[in-house]
Amino acid sequence: MPSFTRFRRHPDFAGFFDLVHPFFWPVLFWQLIRASKYIATLGCREALVDVNWWGQVTIAFLGDRDPSPSAYRPLEPARAHWSDPCWSTSVPADLLPETQRLICPRTCGGFERKAFARQTPREGMKGAFTPKATADTS
């Protein structure tokens, strides 16, 4: 039985051989090989194993399976990069300030702003964000 003694000294299996009577070491050896092959066929990383005094190995819990190498797919961008020409505009360059004032009126000074320092809060809010009167040239 030199193979059993070498197998018994292995740090992963020494605790199992300490639990089993030496008469049943061949049974334990056979059961451990059988259990390891079963766990390998399932593709599990770890397993919780129970061993009784007669060398019978029972798998109590199976760990997570190894991830499939084909399961990883890199994320695909939902939008094109900002340097992509699809983000370009067909508005002529001389009309861009006008269109910007229509789209973002508060940031571009499109609406009239009153000074709130000299007015009461109620007066300051009244008509503060009304658009300026412009002539319709269309």
Report pLDDT digits (tens) over 70-80. 777 778 888 88
Single-letter amino acid code for the residue at 45: R
Looking at the structure, tell me whether residues 54 and 9 fall in a common domain: yes
Identify the pLDDT of residue 50.
Answer: 92
Single-letter amino acid code for the residue at 121: P
CA distance 22 to 29: 11
Half-sphere exposure of 41 (CA within 13 A, CB side): 6
pTM exceeds 0.85: no
CA distance 51 to 58: 6
- Cβ atoms within 10 Å, residue 34: 11
Reply yes or no on whether the pLDDT at 57 is more than 90: yes
Q: Quote the number of domains for the chain.
A: 2
Say which DSSP state 87 is in. G
User: What residues make up the domain containing 35?
Assistant: 2-62
pLDDT grade for 129, boundaries at 50, 70 and 90 = low
Considering only residues 100 and 58, tell me which one the structure prediction assigns the higher pLDDT.
58
CA distance 110 to 129: 10
Identify the pLDDT of residue 1.
Answer: 46
Looking at the structure, tell me whether residues 96 and 51 fall in a common domain: no
Is 132 domain-assigned? Answer: no
CA distance 58 to 127: 81
CB 7 within 8 A of CB 13: yes
Is 98 domain-assigned? Answer: yes
Strands of 2-118 (E only): list them.
Answer: 47-51, 57-62
CA distance 137 to 98: 14
Comparing 35-39, 51-55, 102-106, 124-128, which segment has the lowest mean pLDDT?
124-128
CB 48 within 8 A of CB 58: no
Is 69 domain-assigned? Answer: no
Is 78 domain-assigned? Answer: no
